[in-house]
Structure 1
Amino acid sequence: MNKKAKGFLNEFKEFISRGSVMDLAVGMIIGAAFTAIVNALVNNILNPIIGLLVGGIQFSEWKIPLGADSAIDIGAFINAVITFLITAFVIFLIVKALNSLHRKPEPAPEKAPRLCPYCKSEIADDATRCPHCTSILTDGAEEKNEK
């Protein structure tokens, strides 16, 4: 085996051994099982109910004959569309729930810094004297009374 082929095989082996490939495989298996459940729900429960509501029509019986031995199975297509819509809706709900679990709360907005009314330097919220200009700071009530 040449050097390129060995490098390619080693790269492929590394790719296969990653955890994400196994996650994908598990997801595919669960997806197939979920599809079987949704197909059973649509074919055995929803379609008969929809058929009764529409007037006793069974979608599985809808066919357009093309000749002696062939036909277009419209009912199977309608069943597939219903199955797809239900599957897509359930997946949407699952993703929406997972996103709401992982959503982080927004941080509180930062408070504007307190400024000395005399030198306009930034000072601590609990300061009583400005560390820059040494002015005595008031809570603002005296300043309002002076005006």
Structure 2
Amino acid sequence: MGLLKEFKEFATRGNVVDLAVGIIVGGAFGKIVSSLVADIIMPPIGLLIGGVQFTELKLWLRNAVVDSSGKVVKEAVTINIGNFLQTVFDFLIIAGAIFMLVKLLNRLNRKKSVKTAEPPVPSVEIQLLTEIRDLLKENKRMGD
């Protein structure tokens, strides 16, 4: 029973929940970026280089072998350069977005730490002792 309780405490701790939320949001963000690259960025680039769709860029190592009835006996073997380029663009955009997010969070944390760097307010006892000290110094000067 103790192991179950420990796991429950671990799973409900802030860091684990934050991590789970981050993974879910990150997965959704990855899909958005993949769509951005495939559907918005790559078509104009393909148009600029002659109407080529990047996903169709391939190096053919072997053509498909077809028998007399038209049935494929051996599949074609290709190196899919276009898919690789699209994945590289996905990665670069995701990495850039994460870099900018981390940079923003670091800037916000720096501002927060500067605000919290102010000296702490002394306790009531310290304030009273400081006042007593100041009064004693003042009385000593008056007596001189």
Per the TM superposition, whether the score is higher than 0.5 is yes
Gaps of 5+ in 2: 65-74, 118-140
Select which of 72, 75, 78 maps to 1:71. Answer: 78
Quote how far apart the aligned CAs of 1:10 are. 4.8
Aligned alpha-carbon RMSD (Å): 2.4
Among candidates 82, 86, 98, match of residue 91 of structure 1: 98
Distance in 2 separating the partners of 1:98 and 1:44:
30
Whole-angstrom distance in 2 between the partners of 1:24 and 1:12: 16
Match of 1:60 in 2: 55
Give the Cα–Cα distance (whole angstroms) in 1 for the partners of residues 51 and 43 of structure 2. 8
* 2-structure distance, mates of 1:84, 1:29: 17
1:15: which partner in 2? 10
Higher RCO (C-alpha 8 Å, min separation 6): 2
Choose between structure 1 and 2: higher helix proportion: 2
Percent identical among aligned pairs is 53
**CA 1:51/1:11 → structure 2, altered by over 3 Å: closer, same or farther?**
same
Amino acid across the alignment from 1:85:
L
TM-score (norm 2): 0.61
Structure with bigger gyration radius:
1
The answer to whether 1:103 aligns with 2:98 is no
Q: How many matched pairs?
A: 104
Q: CA deviation at 1:53?
A: 2.4
